[in-house]
Amino acid sequence: MVEKPTAVAGLPHAAQMRVKGLFRYPVKSMLGESVNRMFVDGYGAEGDRRLALVDAVTGHVASAKHPRLWRGLLKCTAHEDGGRVHIRLPDGTNVAADDPGVDELLSLLLGRDVRLVRQRPDGATLERPDPEELLDLGVDAEVSGRILVIGQKTPGGSFTDEAPLHAITTATLDHIGVEALRYRPNLVITTPTGYPAYAENDWVGKELTVGEARLRILSATSRCVVPTLEHGALPRAPHALRAPAAENRWDTGGHGAQPCAGAYLAAVADGVIRLGDPVRLER
């Protein structure tokens, strides 16, 4: 476990933090899109994780956290155009999310009977095999895990897991040596030279002012196996989990010390966030 970084507590570089990237993922566990501006409120980021696939047999929400079944989702890309969500399949086929044949196409691709839904069912669940066991035994291994009820901290019908929003700093990303895409954040925050990795740990309980919005930091973000998987053309990256597992473990939800990188947030004041906006960590 890393020590709490004293540099953050003193906030010597807070004025130098800025928004480097803004991302949304219209369909849960598919690749998403970068945007120049993003409206955030208590429901999360506008257009983010508003759709998901549901397994017609088990009733669980499809998530690449269970890679043996669902890692194929990370070969698909979802984007919004004119208020409609479109999905690009690995072979280049594009299909609108409201196309009558979308369920059949996705079921054929994934080898399971799925439905694309727009409203999170009450008590929606997903399967989360133990990520470190998957690293040791392989992503196709049958390993133990948990059934998670998702969206408990996010009002409305979106398919976020633990919280409405997720952010990560360039200090953490550069230290681990991976692309931001792998951690699926909504915000990537540029930090100055010398800012400590995993400083997001020390933000918990504080607030960030970002553009027009004010965000409360809820907890460090526990990591699953997803960052280690292939993301489109990006290859496997086991160190995306191994590094925080060795360096930064925290008990964020009563399940023991978990590998963490980044922070979960919720908006306490709605507003638009733009690329380049200053980020101020309040005392």
User: H or E stretch including 196?
Assistant: none
Q: Tell me how far CA of residue 13 lies from CA of 16, 28, 71, 80, 212, in angstroms.
A: 5, 34, 39, 35, 20
Closest alpha carbon to 124 in 159, 89, 165, 74 = 159
Query: Taking a C-beta distance cutoff of 8 angstroms, is the pair 183, 263 a contact?
Result: no
What's the whole-number average pLDDT of the chain?
A: 94
Q: How confident is the model at residue 1 (pLDDT cuts 50, 70, 90)?
A: very low
Higher per-residue pLDDT: 254 or 159: 159
The answer to whether residue 9 scores a pLDDT higher than 60 is no
Q: How confident is the model at residue 253 (pLDDT cuts 50, 70, 90)?
A: confident
- Name which of 43-52, 165-174, 274-283 the model is least confident about: 274-283
What's the pLDDT tens digit per position in 96-115? 999 999 999 999 999 999 99
Q: What is the mean pLDDT of residues 195-204?
A: 97
Q: How confident is the model at residue 255 (pLDDT cuts 50, 70, 90)?
A: confident
Q: What are phi and psi of 277, to 5 degrees?
A: -60, 140
Closest alpha carbon to 172 in 259, 258, 230, 110 = 259
The answer to whether residue 221 scores a pLDDT higher than 80 is yes
**pLDDT score recorded for residue 90:** 96
Instruction: Cite the DSSP H helix spans in the chain.
Output: 6-10, 67-70, 102-110, 131-137, 170-176, 239-247
The answer to whether residue 3 scores a pLDDT higher than 50 is no
**pLDDT score recorded for residue 254:** 78
6-281 sits in which CATH class? mainly beta
The b/e string for 107-124 (b: 16+ C-beta within 10 A; e otherwise) is bebbebebebbeebeeeb
- Using only C-alpha atoms, the chain has a radius of gyration, in whole angstroms, of 18
Ranges of each domain in the chain: 6-281
- Name which of 76-80, 139-143, 207-211, 255-259 the model is least confident about: 255-259
The answer to whether residue 13 scores a pLDDT higher than 60 is no
The answer to whether residue 88 scores a pLDDT higher than 70 is yes
Q: What is the mean pLDDT of residues 1-22?
A: 61
What's the pLDDT tens digit per position in 170-193? 999 999 999 999 999 999 999 999
**pLDDT score recorded for residue 12:** 47
**pLDDT score recorded for residue 10:** 46
List CB contacts of 247: < 8 A, sequence separation 6 or more. Answer: 1, 2, 197, 198
226: three-class secondary structure by DSSP: helix
